[in-house]
Structures are given as C-alpha cells and as structure tokens.
Amino acid sequence: MPAQAPSRAPDPQRRRTALRHRLAELRGADVPAQPLDARALAALAANPGCRRRALLDGAGVDKTALALSLGSPSGFGQSQFAFMRGNAFEARVKADGGAELLRLTHGRLGGGPEPVPGESALPDLSAAGPEGRAARTALALREATESGGWTLLDHPMLALDVAGTLAFLEPDAVVVHPDGSWTVVEIKSFPMIDGSADAAKVGAAARQAAVYALALERVAERLDPVPPVRHHVLLVCPKDFSNLPTASAIDVRRQLSVTRRQLARLTRVEDIAAELPEGVTFDVRRPAAELTAAVEAVPATYAPECLSACELAFHCRTRAREEGEVTSLGRAIRGELGGLTTVSAVLAAAGVGSEEAGDPADPAVAALRRAAGLRAEALAGGGALGGASC
C-alpha cells in the first residue's frame, strides 16, 4: 500500500487570496471596499472585543451606508466645512516644499543641522494602486535615510497587517532627519492657544499618530540597519486665532503600547467569517430585514464610547438596550459587575423585585445587596422625616 503523502500547510498566498474572495462576497461582489484608515484602526484597537466591527472593517463594508440601510443613520464624521478648512491649512503648512514644516520639525525635535530652504528632498511617491504606493514609499524612506539630509514625504502610503488583512494608511507627512530617524507628522486644524490645545482632540490625534508610527516601524524593520522611528510625533496646528502654523512634540509611547497590544488581540477576520451562516452578506442593496439578520449574526461589544467612533453605534445601542446588556451603561460598570451581564440579572442579584438571585459569596452580588439595603434605609428614613414634618 503506497505511503500517504504528508499533509502540507496551506500556501500563505493562496490563503490570502481565498480570504480576499470571502470578504468580497460578504461586502458584495461588485461593491468597492472601503479602505481602513488610522482613525478607524484607533477606534478598532480601543474596542478589540467587537467581532462585528473587526469583520465589517476587514471586509471593507461601508458602515455609514449600512447604518442608513438598517434604519439607524449616524451623524458620525466631519463636516464638509471642517474638511475644507483642514485641507487649506495643510496646504499652507506644506507650501514652498515644506520649508515651514521642516523648520518646525527641527525646532521641536532636532535631528541634525537646521534645514536650508530649497535644499531638502521632496520625493515623488506616486504609483499605481495602494500596494504600489506603499512599495514606492518604502523605497523613498530607504533612500532618504541613506542620503543624510532632510526629506519630507508628503502623504506617504504605509501598510499594516490587521487581523490577517492589510490596511493601507496615509499619514499627513513623514520627515526623515539627517541623523536617519523618522518622524510622523499630524496636521490638524484645531487651534493651539498659548501653546496648548483641547486635551480630547490632542488625545485623539495621538492615538491616530500611534497607528501611523506602528506601521512605520514595520517598514523600518525591513531595513538594515533599522532606522529609529521617533516616539515623539509632531502635531502641527494653527497658532492662537490665526492661520499661522505652530507645533508641539507629542510623546505617543503609551498610545503605541496600547495600540500594539490591542491590535495583537484582535480575532482574525477569517475566523469570524468562517463562523457565519451560508449566504450571509452585508451588501447594502439588500433588504433591511436581511441586512439586520446578517449584522446580528456577528457578535458586537457595545459601549457608550462607540458613539464617537463607530457608524453603527446607534444600531448597536438600540440592540444592547433591548437585550438589557450592562455594557450599555459603560465599560467601567460592566467591569464592576463581573458575571452579571444583563440589567435584569443585576436587579435580581440586588433583591429588587419578587425573586432574589445570585451567589451571596460573589463580591458583586454582595455589593449590590448592600447598596440596595442602604437605599431602602435612606428611603425609609426620608419617609419618616417627611411624615414628622407634616
């Protein structure tokens, strides 16, 4: 009897091709994919347990159109005026070959002699498709590092593997210093007044820049020697109430660590897709009932923070409230309640209603019953006081 041939692991290229075909089927065979950007990745990394968002983003589904088809449109996103203002300010910052931007970079981060206007490199990064642009960016970074001068890469293209699929990211700019180090540049249109800006907006910009820095590290790892990617990114904003640019160096080491850890924890998209029933599709041209069933086939992890980061947040919030999920009250409360995952279970554990449930030895149950007892005492005391005053 002939010996059985040893089984071989699937060819990685064939596996990736099969995954792309599967994701295209989920999105709709002739529907173009929505590219992942750093803003979406920062939000995805902040909620790694949400399999729904991981699959929809990995498949390139237009979540804005999907939310509209589901009957839960979201106002998430920037206004057209904000886009126009941001583009105009970015054009001003990068005028004259990026002379002002390089001056700000040297002033805040150093990295070599002061740049001389007109002598810095501004390589052409145009190429066919995102893969071609990413390859051209990698080549330009290597050449700039070897040149020993100042180089500004305007809207480079970076690739980052996210849950088994490539995301192509486009930072505002990357600067290569004469000492060979690389810096991510974030250009925002919100003002920096007296040297400081809105903390929430700076935090969002830092999380977004950390995604770019992580992708830039992947490019650097393929070079020998490995050039350093600076952990301080340059945040450029309008100064005070003018349109003149000013800048600040933002340390993103903490955001880098969180993003790296959270992206590593993401469930692989192909594993989520494999668990779906046959025929499921997120093609927004399908009837609303069919789309609702398809979306509900993928588990979600809703939290109030999703309202500022995900187009499907209104839909998921409605479902979470209908099912009484405690996650709708916030991650902090969910963490305190341990194994109590629904509002009805929490009320039963606290002894509210006709039936009492839960293990008294459970710290969460004990705390709830103690709180319910204190509330009952307070209400009884208030009632007695109110009766005496009458």
pLDDT single digits (tens) 127-164:
999 999 999 999 999 999 999 999 999 999 999 987 66
CA distances to 79, 102, 106, 107, 251 from 114, rounded to whole Å, are: 38, 9, 6, 8, 22
CB 28 within 8 A of CB 291: no
Does 5 score more than 80 pLDDT?
A: no
User: Pairing state of beta strands 182-187 and 232-238?
Assistant: parallel
Q: What is the pLDDT of residue 58?
A: 83
Cα separation, 99 vs 207, in Å, equals 26
Cα separation, 243 vs 269, in Å, equals 43
The residue type found at 114 is E
Q: What is the pLDDT of residue 388?
A: 46
Cα separation, 255 vs 268, in Å, equals 22
Among 174-183, 242-251, 266-275, 292-301, which is the least confidently predicted range? 266-275
Identify the band that residue 67 occupies on the pLDDT scale cut at 50, 70 and 90.
Answer: very high
CB 362 within 8 A of CB 338: yes
Cβ neighbour number for residue 86 with a 10 Å cutoff: 16
Burial class (CB in 10 A: 0-12, 13-18, 19+), 215: buried
Dihedrals phi, psi of 93, to nearest 5 degrees = -65, -35
Q: What is the pLDDT of residue 366?
A: 81
Q: What is the pLDDT of residue 94?
A: 95
CB 60 within 8 A of CB 27: yes
The mean pLDDT value for 181-209 works out to: 92
Q: Map residue 371 onto helix, strand or coil.
A: helix
Which region holds residue 219: left if phi is over 0, alpha if psi is between -120 and 50, else beta? alpha
Mean of the per-residue pLDDT values of the chain: 86
Choose between 150 and 377: higher pLDDT.
150
